[in-house]
Amino acid sequence: MTTEPRRLRNYIAGEFRDAADGRTTEVVNPVTGEAYATAPLSGPADVDAAMAAAEEAFPVWRDLVPAERQKVLLKIADAFEARAEELIAAESENTGKPLALTRSEEIPPMVDQIRFFAGAARMLEGRSAGEYMDGMTSIIRREPIGVCAQVAPWNYPMMMATWKFAPALAAGNTVVLKPSDTTPASTLLMAEIIGGVLEELGHPKGVFNVICGDRDTGRLMVEHPVPAMASITGSVRAGMQVAESASKDLKRVHLELGGKAPVVVFDDADVAKAAEEIAVAGYFNAGQDCTAATRVLVHESIHDEFVAALAKAAADTKTGLPDDEDVLYGPLNNANQLKQVSGFIERLPAHATIEAGGHRVGDKGYFFAPTVISGLKQDDEIVQREVFGPVITVQSFTDEDQAVSYANGVTYALASSVWTKDHARAMRMSKRLDFGCVWINTHIPLVAEMPHGGFKQSGYGKDLSSYSFEDYTRIKHVMTSLG
């Protein structure tokens, strides 16, 4: 017997709806490579309906006192916690992620981040009122922007959706969110939960909306006249397209794009410890992370020792099924991603050496072995471009200046790390590295209180922290005559 794929539906104005024209796309489980659901392929009518719902809800939501918006977000956090197992199951079916790691590494941070932004709703800061011209008092108002069109990626469907909707709602905006076409299931479950909280507390149904679809759906959202802001987490190409589309009516744009994180290991580092931790930071989530530790730069005096240690760490890293508690990561997200990662390996230059992995695992689903590649040069494709898979490259450097040159010598500028026992060197490197985040003797931890975002082609705008919250607000000057 074959199981009929279940039908996923858009969430607009508090209701689940099919696409207006009935079009759908298949949703594939990356563990099996087989379709388990269909989702709407939303078109202009669906985007219009979602934007109209968000626009209608905006004045009411905007005018709530912050304490009321805080109450909503706190209830959402509680509801996510209460229904965590459902969210974990949906996310794993979306992505093939290990259940145990999704439970420990995603649900707690998501809940914490929502609670952080619930508090931020009541902590807007700005200049105090004052007189800067005789007889006049100036006041600064910080206000919500309006309707926000948000596009989330497939690598962390739940968490990236949380990074978008939580600060937007906390600041008083309403939301139309599109998940990736390959991972809509967990986002739609989140919509059900959020919608239930809004209904329970008597708030407008259009505050939070989710529509499914492909790139054309995202383009329609960004080009729509209603949203005042477009936010996307995705590829550099997608970010450029969003920025171009948004420029036509001068929408505000918030972009978190690709990464190619340098991991600079100096000769005084603990080689075994560094290799072990870098392997985890490079292979977690199958390397499908813009901040993943994918590009190691190691001092020439410890190069061979480090490569051997990293290759051993790769050999000890396990990929497999979601219910296996010993695995670090599951499959790549989709067939196209498997093809992309495999293509990088197939195109390796002759001077490169595959120290570990470099191949698909099994013939079912989209699993790829933890991979280490050495002998690379700075201008090699695999050094310059984002692989977005469980692949770590290794280059050697002679001194600090060359390490900085290699590290900064890519178009991405999201995250980086430095491994050394020399405090002064760590401080110098943190200043010289042109990346939005610099970790020292660690790689990949994030906290709600600190900003996440990059420079150059990694985009602009910040996720997490009060900086993200401020990105979802606008500033107004009010001047009044004292006469």
Q: Which residues are the active-site residues?
A: 256, 290
Residue with the two structure tokens 């304490």: 67
Q: Is there a contact between 137 and 84 (Cβ–Cβ < 8 Å)? A: no
Report the DSSP pairing between strands 473-481 and 136-144: antiparallel
Residue 8: Cβ within 10 Å count: 23
Residue 214: Cβ within 10 Å count: 15
Mapping DSSP to helix (H, G, I), strand (E, B) and coil, where does residue 452 land?
A: strand
User: Where do the DSSP E strands lie in 404-456?
Assistant: 412-413, 415-419, 437-440, 455-456
Q: Is there a contact between 24 and 38 (Cβ–Cβ < 8 Å)? A: yes
**Which DSSP symbol is given to 128?**
P
Sheet holding 437-440, edge to edge: 353-356, 371-374, 391-397, 295-299, 262-265, 415-419, 437-440
- Taking the C-alpha atoms of residue 34 and residue 132, their distance in angstroms, rounded to an integer, is 66
Q: Which amino acid is at 441?
A: N
SS3 of 49-108: the string is HHHHHHHHHHHHHHCCCHHHHHHHHHHHHHHHHHCHHHHHHHHHHHHCCCHHHHHHHCHH
Phi, psi at residue 463, to the nearest 5°? -100, 160
Mapping DSSP to helix (H, G, I), strand (E, B) and coil, where does residue 368 land?
A: strand
> How much of the chain is in helix, strand and coil states, percent to nearest 5?
40, 25, 35
- Taking the C-alpha atoms of residue 393 and residue 352, their distance in angstroms, rounded to an integer, is 10
Angle at which helices 107-120 and 66-82 pack, to 10 degrees? Answer: 170
The first and second tokens of residue 51, run together, are 């934007």
- Taking the C-alpha atoms of residue 263 and residue 313, their distance in angstroms, rounded to an integer, is 16
Q: Is there a contact between 148 and 174 (Cβ–Cβ < 8 Å)? A: yes
User: Where do the DSSP E strands lie in 251-350?
Assistant: 252-256, 262-265, 295-299
